[in-house]
Amino acid sequence: MNSSDPTAISKPLGERARAALGGRNLVFVGLMGAGKSAIGRMVAQELGLPFVDSDHEIERVSRMTITELFTAYGEAEFRALETRVIERLLQTGPRVVSTGGGAFINPNTRQQIKGSGLSIWLRAELDVLWDRVSRRDGRPLLKTVNPKETLENLMKERYPIYAEADLTVQSRDVRKDAIVRDVLTAIAGFANEEQDP
Ligand SMILES: Nc1ncnc2c1ncn2[C@@H]1O[C@H](COP(=O)(O)OP(=O)(O)OP(=O)(O)O)[C@@H](O)[C@H]1O
Ligand SMILES: O=C(O)C1=C[C@@H](O)[C@@H](O)[C@H](O)C1
Ligand SMILES: [Mg+2]
Protein backbone atom coordinates (compact mmCIF):
# COMPACT_ATOMS: atom_id res chain seq x y z
CA MET A 1 0.00 0.00 0.00
CA ASN A 2 1.33 3.44 -0.92
CA SER A 3 1.82 5.52 2.23
CA SER A 4 0.95 8.74 0.36
CA ASP A 5 -2.49 7.33 -0.51
CA PRO A 6 -4.95 9.36 1.62
CA THR A 7 -7.24 6.34 1.88
CA ALA A 8 -4.44 4.03 3.04
CA ILE A 9 -5.34 2.21 6.23
CA SER A 10 -2.49 2.66 8.67
CA LYS A 11 -1.48 -0.37 10.65
CA PRO A 12 -1.56 1.45 13.97
CA LEU A 13 -5.21 2.41 13.36
CA GLY A 14 -6.19 -1.23 12.80
CA GLU A 15 -4.25 -2.24 15.88
CA ARG A 16 -5.81 0.49 17.99
CA ALA A 17 -9.29 -0.54 16.85
CA ARG A 18 -8.51 -4.18 17.57
CA ALA A 19 -7.32 -3.32 21.08
CA ALA A 20 -10.44 -1.22 21.68
CA LEU A 21 -12.71 -4.07 20.67
CA GLY A 22 -11.06 -6.51 23.09
CA GLY A 23 -13.09 -9.70 23.46
CA ARG A 24 -16.28 -8.21 22.01
CA ASN A 25 -17.89 -8.97 18.68
CA LEU A 26 -18.25 -6.19 16.15
CA VAL A 27 -21.74 -6.22 14.63
CA PHE A 28 -22.72 -4.26 11.52
CA VAL A 29 -26.34 -3.11 11.22
CA GLY A 30 -28.16 -0.97 8.67
CA LEU A 31 -30.38 -1.04 5.62
CA MET A 32 -29.99 -3.09 2.46
CA GLY A 33 -27.17 -1.71 0.36
CA ALA A 34 -25.46 0.16 3.22
CA GLY A 35 -22.37 -1.99 2.73
CA LYS A 36 -22.55 -4.22 5.81
CA SER A 37 -21.34 -7.31 3.95
CA ALA A 38 -18.70 -5.61 1.79
CA ILE A 39 -17.30 -3.28 4.48
CA GLY A 40 -17.67 -5.85 7.27
CA ARG A 41 -15.45 -8.31 5.43
CA MET A 42 -12.76 -5.68 4.84
CA VAL A 43 -12.89 -4.45 8.45
CA ALA A 44 -12.52 -8.02 9.72
CA GLN A 45 -9.38 -8.40 7.65
CA GLU A 46 -7.92 -5.20 9.10
CA LEU A 47 -8.74 -6.37 12.63
CA GLY A 48 -7.41 -9.88 11.99
CA LEU A 49 -10.75 -11.38 13.07
CA PRO A 50 -13.01 -13.99 11.48
CA PHE A 51 -15.90 -12.64 9.46
CA VAL A 52 -19.40 -14.01 9.10
CA ASP A 53 -22.45 -12.67 7.33
CA SER A 54 -25.79 -13.69 8.85
CA ASP A 55 -27.64 -13.76 5.51
CA HIS A 56 -24.98 -16.09 4.07
CA GLU A 57 -25.09 -18.26 7.18
CA ILE A 58 -28.91 -18.52 6.97
CA GLU A 59 -28.61 -19.55 3.32
CA ARG A 60 -25.91 -22.09 4.20
CA VAL A 61 -27.83 -23.80 7.01
CA SER A 62 -31.19 -23.77 5.23
CA ARG A 63 -29.71 -24.63 1.82
CA MET A 64 -32.13 -22.06 0.41
CA THR A 65 -31.70 -18.51 -0.79
CA ILE A 66 -33.24 -15.65 1.20
CA THR A 67 -35.78 -15.19 -1.57
CA GLU A 68 -36.72 -18.88 -1.47
CA LEU A 69 -37.09 -18.75 2.33
CA PHE A 70 -39.41 -15.74 2.14
CA THR A 71 -41.48 -17.40 -0.58
CA ALA A 72 -41.73 -20.81 1.09
CA TYR A 73 -42.16 -19.82 4.75
CA GLY A 74 -42.85 -16.06 4.89
CA GLU A 75 -41.08 -13.23 6.65
CA ALA A 76 -42.03 -14.25 10.21
CA GLU A 77 -40.35 -17.66 9.85
CA PHE A 78 -37.31 -16.02 8.25
CA ARG A 79 -37.03 -13.67 11.25
CA ALA A 80 -37.26 -16.58 13.69
CA LEU A 81 -34.45 -18.38 11.86
CA GLU A 82 -32.44 -15.16 11.68
CA THR A 83 -32.71 -14.68 15.45
CA ARG A 84 -31.51 -18.24 16.12
CA VAL A 85 -28.63 -18.01 13.66
CA ILE A 86 -27.42 -14.66 15.00
CA GLU A 87 -27.69 -15.87 18.61
CA ARG A 88 -25.38 -18.76 17.70
CA LEU A 89 -22.95 -16.57 15.75
CA LEU A 90 -22.59 -14.21 18.69
CA GLN A 91 -21.81 -16.98 21.15
CA THR A 92 -18.23 -17.42 20.06
CA GLY A 93 -16.05 -14.45 19.41
CA PRO A 94 -14.56 -12.05 19.01
CA ARG A 95 -15.59 -11.92 15.39
CA VAL A 96 -17.09 -9.48 12.92
CA VAL A 97 -20.73 -10.18 12.13
CA SER A 98 -22.60 -8.45 9.32
CA THR A 99 -26.32 -8.80 9.85
CA GLY A 100 -29.24 -8.72 7.44
CA GLY A 101 -31.03 -5.38 7.17
CA GLY A 102 -33.93 -6.34 9.43
CA ALA A 103 -32.01 -8.13 12.16
CA PHE A 104 -31.46 -5.17 14.51
CA ILE A 105 -35.13 -4.20 14.13
CA ASN A 106 -36.21 -7.42 15.84
CA PRO A 107 -36.22 -6.63 19.62
CA ASN A 108 -34.84 -10.09 20.57
CA THR A 109 -32.00 -9.92 18.08
CA ARG A 110 -31.28 -6.33 19.06
CA GLN A 111 -30.91 -7.33 22.70
CA GLN A 112 -28.56 -10.16 21.76
CA ILE A 113 -26.40 -7.81 19.71
CA LYS A 114 -26.32 -5.19 22.44
CA GLY A 115 -25.29 -7.81 24.96
CA SER A 116 -22.49 -9.40 23.01
CA GLY A 117 -20.59 -6.71 21.25
CA LEU A 118 -20.08 -3.34 19.76
CA SER A 119 -22.76 -2.46 17.22
CA ILE A 120 -22.07 -0.19 14.30
CA TRP A 121 -24.69 1.38 12.02
CA LEU A 122 -23.66 2.03 8.44
CA ARG A 123 -25.97 4.91 7.61
CA ALA A 124 -26.61 5.97 4.02
CA GLU A 125 -28.81 8.36 2.09
CA LEU A 126 -31.64 7.02 -0.04
CA ASP A 127 -29.97 7.67 -3.41
CA VAL A 128 -26.78 5.84 -2.37
CA LEU A 129 -28.80 2.83 -1.19
CA TRP A 130 -31.03 2.85 -4.21
CA ASP A 131 -28.12 3.00 -6.63
CA ARG A 132 -26.58 -0.06 -4.96
CA VAL A 133 -29.66 -2.24 -4.42
CA SER A 134 -31.10 -1.64 -7.87
CA ARG A 135 -28.06 -3.37 -9.40
CA ARG A 136 -28.79 -6.75 -7.86
CA ASP A 137 -31.89 -8.87 -7.28
CA GLY A 138 -32.47 -11.09 -4.24
CA ARG A 139 -34.06 -8.64 -1.80
CA PRO A 140 -37.63 -9.89 -1.32
CA LEU A 141 -38.81 -6.84 0.64
CA LEU A 142 -38.15 -4.70 -2.43
CA LYS A 143 -40.34 -6.77 -4.74
CA THR A 144 -43.02 -4.07 -4.71
CA VAL A 145 -44.63 -1.78 -7.27
CA ASN A 146 -42.40 1.11 -6.21
CA PRO A 147 -39.25 -0.34 -4.60
CA LYS A 148 -37.55 3.03 -4.14
CA GLU A 149 -40.55 4.27 -2.15
CA THR A 150 -40.49 1.02 -0.13
CA LEU A 151 -36.84 1.63 0.66
CA GLU A 152 -37.64 5.19 1.73
CA ASN A 153 -40.42 3.93 4.01
CA LEU A 154 -38.03 1.39 5.54
CA MET A 155 -35.60 4.24 6.21
CA LYS A 156 -38.30 6.22 8.05
CA GLU A 157 -39.32 3.22 10.13
CA ARG A 158 -35.91 1.87 10.87
CA TYR A 159 -33.47 4.76 11.18
CA PRO A 160 -34.59 5.66 14.74
CA ILE A 161 -33.91 2.03 15.71
CA TYR A 162 -30.55 1.67 13.95
CA ALA A 163 -29.62 4.88 15.81
CA GLU A 164 -29.50 2.79 19.00
CA ALA A 165 -26.27 1.21 17.76
CA ASP A 166 -23.13 2.10 19.72
CA LEU A 167 -21.49 3.73 16.71
CA THR A 168 -22.65 5.32 13.46
CA VAL A 169 -20.56 5.67 10.31
CA GLN A 170 -21.84 7.38 7.18
CA SER A 171 -21.70 5.10 4.15
CA ARG A 172 -21.07 7.38 1.18
CA ASP A 173 -20.28 7.20 -2.47
CA VAL A 174 -16.53 7.02 -1.88
CA ARG A 175 -13.98 4.21 -2.04
CA LYS A 176 -14.70 1.33 0.31
CA ASP A 177 -11.24 1.82 1.86
CA ALA A 178 -12.33 5.24 3.09
CA ILE A 179 -15.39 3.78 4.83
CA VAL A 180 -13.24 1.04 6.36
CA ARG A 181 -10.92 3.70 7.76
CA ASP A 182 -13.90 5.63 9.20
CA VAL A 183 -15.13 2.44 10.87
CA LEU A 184 -11.73 1.70 12.43
CA THR A 185 -11.42 5.32 13.61
CA ALA A 186 -14.87 5.14 15.20
CA ILE A 187 -13.99 1.92 17.05
CA ALA A 188 -10.67 3.27 18.28
CA GLY A 189 -12.38 6.52 19.38
CA PHE A 190 -15.15 4.66 21.19
CA ALA A 191 -12.59 3.05 23.48
CA ASN A 192 -11.24 6.48 24.40
CA GLU A 193 -14.76 7.69 25.19
CA GLU A 194 -15.30 4.69 27.44
CA GLN A 195 -12.08 5.37 29.34
CA ASP A 196 -12.52 9.15 29.42
CA PRO A 197 -16.24 9.99 29.13
N1 LIG B 1 -18.36 2.52 -0.35
C2 LIG B 1 -18.83 1.82 -1.38
N3 LIG B 1 -18.57 2.21 -2.62
C4 LIG B 1 -19.05 1.52 -3.66
N5 LIG B 1 -19.80 0.40 -3.59
C6 LIG B 1 -20.08 -0.04 -2.37
C7 LIG B 1 -19.61 0.62 -1.20
N8 LIG B 1 -20.06 -0.07 -0.13
C9 LIG B 1 -20.76 -1.12 -0.63
N10 LIG B 1 -20.75 -1.10 -1.97
C11 LIG B 1 -21.42 -2.05 -2.88
O12 LIG B 1 -22.81 -1.92 -2.72
C13 LIG B 1 -23.43 -3.18 -2.85
C14 LIG B 1 -24.24 -3.47 -1.61
O15 LIG B 1 -23.35 -3.65 -0.52
P16 LIG B 1 -23.56 -4.83 0.54
O17 LIG B 1 -24.04 -6.07 -0.13
O18 LIG B 1 -22.30 -4.91 1.33
O19 LIG B 1 -24.76 -4.22 1.40
P20 LIG B 1 -25.47 -4.83 2.66
O21 LIG B 1 -25.58 -3.72 3.66
O22 LIG B 1 -24.79 -6.07 3.10
O23 LIG B 1 -26.94 -5.17 2.11
P24 LIG B 1 -27.97 -6.37 2.54
O25 LIG B 1 -28.65 -5.93 3.82
O26 LIG B 1 -28.95 -6.43 1.41
O27 LIG B 1 -27.17 -7.61 2.70
C28 LIG B 1 -22.30 -4.21 -3.09
O29 LIG B 1 -22.20 -4.43 -4.48
C30 LIG B 1 -21.08 -3.49 -2.55
O31 LIG B 1 -19.89 -3.91 -3.19
O1 LIG C 1 -33.87 -5.35 5.37
C2 LIG C 1 -34.32 -6.51 5.50
O3 LIG C 1 -35.30 -6.76 6.21
C4 LIG C 1 -33.62 -7.61 4.81
C5 LIG C 1 -32.33 -7.42 4.37
C6 LIG C 1 -31.50 -8.48 3.79
O7 LIG C 1 -30.18 -8.38 4.30
C8 LIG C 1 -32.08 -9.88 4.07
O9 LIG C 1 -31.83 -10.27 5.40
C10 LIG C 1 -33.54 -9.91 3.78
O11 LIG C 1 -33.70 -9.64 2.41
C12 LIG C 1 -34.33 -8.91 4.64
MG1 LIG D 1 -25.38 -8.05 3.31
- Residue with the smallest CA separation from ligand 2 atom 9 is 100
- pTM higher than 0.95 for the full model? no
Distance from the alpha carbon of residue 145 to the mean position of ligand 1, in angstroms: 23
Report the distance separating Cα 138 and Cα 179, nearest Å.
24
* CA 5 vs CA 1, 177, 182, 188: distances in Å: 8, 11, 15, 21
For 143-196, the pLDDT digits (tens) are 999 999 999 999 999 999 999 999 999 999 999 999 999 999 999 998 656 655
Residue range 98-105: mean pLDDT, rounded: 97
1: confidence class by pLDDT, cuts 50, 70, 90: very low
pLDDT of residue 181: 96
CA-only gyration radius of the chain, Å = 17
For 35-90, the pLDDT digits (tens) are 999 999 999 999 999 999 999 999 999 999 999 999 999 999 999 999 999 999 99
- Residue with the smallest CA separation from ligand 2 atom 11 is 139
Residue range 5-33: mean pLDDT, rounded: 85
pLDDT of residue 140: 92
**Residue 117: helix, strand or coil by DSSP?**
strand
54 is in an annotated binding site: no
